[in-house]
Amino acid sequence: MWSSVISSLERRSHLSLRTHLPSTLWLFGGQMIGSVGSLVLTVLLANTLSENDFGTYKYLLTIFGFISVIALTGFATSVTRSVAHGYEGELKAGIKTSLRYSFGMIGLGLAISGYYLWQGNLIIGIGSLVATLTAPLVNSLPLYTALINGRHDHKNYSIVGILINVVPVLTSLIALYFTTSILTLFAVYMVSQVVLHLVLYYVVTNHYKPNDKRDHRSTTYGKHLSLMNVLGGISYQLDKVVVWHVLGPVQLAVYTIAIAPAQQLRYLNKILTTITLPRFSQRSLNHLQATMIPKLLALLLVSAGIVLGYILIAPFLFTYFVPTYTEAIIYSQVFAFLILFFPAGLLQEAIKAHADTKALYIIQTVIPGLKIILLLVLTPLFGIFGVLGAMFICEITRLIIVLWYFYRPLGGTGVPAEHVA
């Protein structure tokens, strides 16, 4: 019975469910555990710290993210793509290159730290220094996950992902039991990540024993992707920076609480990118174009169900777990509608898998540039609703652009369209 049901679904959706389902379940379980851990920490911090202190702690995390904007973030994609084709020597090469180029992060971090110390804000100034010292390793070492993903070992990829998400949370919870010092909590969170990544890098490389084959195009492609990601990284962090400076730390606390649950649901999109990037890179774009529409419709239907379910339960979640932040309910419900744009991410991943550098540059510059402008204009006028409005306009624009670049006429042959993905 189940076999016939699965076969029917495969025919209708053009998805190889027998191939994808085990991987998806592992990745979904890993993402859920990581999301629950992150939410538990957020809830405990929100209920233990004052709104001002909680907003300050979140701002320190934002500064770390802002410093990390100029890391070689694109190497995760390029190394995964290379490993999928057997070039596993790109792992060590990628980490070495990332560390060599970390001087930009250090310079930016020292500048931010110096600015806040000069302003007399010791907490933000010292916290920025902690972020600066840990950022190079935290951004470079996790490339070992590209080795696991490139080999399609989604079980171990999920287990490692759980450790990456849960261990820093557990260490932070232990620290929270002894202190409510923002600087101590932030330092424990960052240092625990460094130690964990060092240990996992050693374990993963000794387990998989990657070969030394090099794909020298990978480094160039990784640098291109990293350059594309700079503006996107700025825009991703800018919402919290603008809220902090325009609306204050208390409103930043409200905003971060509002987006936290739905943001974790949006991270489910990572499961798609994890599964699809290696597979998309091994199939022709003509084949992907011919089989993508059923996948997009199925993903949109699932996304709509997630949004509806979250909107219904959000009031109960906030009232029970963070009763001091009930004003965040409406913001959280509106933010959840961004989940409907999951299909755009799937299309963009296909473009990325086929190294369409021109299209990616346009996507990764137009959308972040638009978001930066909209945030600066709309936030002072409409507060948190202005931030959300900027996000929706950008997601609609991104969907239009990726549809154009994915479905534009292309020549060439490839994997026959009748083969399921």
* 180-225 confidence digits (pLDDT tens): 999 999 999 999 999 999 999 999 999 999 898 988 788 888 888 7
- Give burial (CB, 10 Å; 0-12/13-18/19+) of 262: buried
Range of lowest pLDDT (19-23, 33-37, 346-350): 19-23
Q: Average pLDDT of 162-172?
A: 91
DSSP 181: -
- pLDDT for 297: 86
Q: Indicate the pTM of the whole model.
A: 0.78
Separation of alpha carbons 291 and 417, rounded Å: 7
- pLDDT for 414: 35
Residue 247 phi, psi dihedral angles, 5° rounding: -105, -20
Separation of alpha carbons 254 and 246, rounded Å: 14
Residue 336 in this model has a pLDDT that exceeds 90: yes
Instruction: Output the CA torsion 355→358→361→362 (10° steps).
Output: -130
Q: Which of 289, 338, 350 lies closest to 311 in space, CA to CA? A: 338
Q: Average pLDDT of 103-116?
A: 94
Separation of alpha carbons 388 and 257, rounded Å: 14
Q: Which residues of 317-348 are buried (b: 16+ CB within 10 A; e: fewer)?
A: ebeebbeebeebbbbbbbbbbbbbbbbbbbbb
Q: Average pLDDT of 243-263?
A: 91
Separation of alpha carbons 160 and 168, rounded Å: 13
Mean pLDDT score of the chain, rounded to an integer? 84
Residue 127 in this model has a pLDDT that exceeds 60: yes
Separation of alpha carbons 76 and 61, rounded Å: 21
Separation of alpha carbons 317 and 339, rounded Å: 18
Residue 419 in this model has a pLDDT that exceeds 50: no
- Selected residue with higher pLDDT from 418 and 210: 210
- Cα–Cα–Cα angle for 105, 107, 113, nearest 5°? 100
- pLDDT for 13: 44
Residue 6 in this model has a pLDDT that exceeds 70: no
Q: How far apart are the first and last CA of the chain?
A: 23
Range of lowest pLDDT (9-23, 278-292, 387-401): 9-23
- pLDDT for 279: 67
Per-residue HEC secondary structure of 217-236 comes to HHHHHHHHHHHHHHHHHHHH
149: Cα separation from own chain's centroid:
15
Decide if 399 contacts 263 (C-beta within 8 A). Answer: no
Domain boundaries, the chain: 6-407
- pLDDT for 325: 93
Q: Average pLDDT of 301-314?
A: 93
- pLDDT for 355: 64
Residue 17 in this model has a pLDDT that exceeds 80: no
> Where does the pLDDT of residue 379 fall: very low under 50, low under 70, confident under 90, or very high at 90 and above?
very high
- pLDDT for 416: 34
Q: Which residues of 65-99 are buried (b: 16+ CB within 10 A; e: fewer)?
A: bbbbbbbbbbbbbbbbbbbbeebbbbbbbbbebbe
> Where does the pLDDT of residue 296 fall: very low under 50, low under 70, confident under 90, or very high at 90 and above?
confident
Range of lowest pLDDT (83-87, 137-141, 383-387): 83-87
Residue 288 in this model has a pLDDT that exceeds 90: no
- pLDDT for 190: 96
- pLDDT for 253: 93
Residue 129 in this model has a pLDDT that exceeds 80: yes
Decide if 173 contacts 48 (C-beta within 8 A). Answer: no
Q: Which two tokens stand for residue 57?
A: 């702690």
Instruction: Output the CA torsion 17→23→24→27 (10° steps).
Output: 180
Sorted by sequence, the CB contacts under 8 Å of residue 306 that are 6+ apart come out as: 265, 268, 336, 339
> Where does the pLDDT of residue 287 fall: very low under 50, low under 70, confident under 90, or very high at 90 and above?
confident
Residue 70 in this model has a pLDDT that exceeds 80: yes
- Cα–Cα–Cα angle for 311, 313, 318, nearest 5°? 100
Q: Average pLDDT of 162-191?
A: 94
Q: Average pLDDT of 24-37?
A: 68
Decide if 66 contacts 237 (C-beta within 8 A). Answer: yes
Range of lowest pLDDT (76-90, 107-121, 236-250): 76-90
Length of the chain: 421
- pLDDT for 229: 80
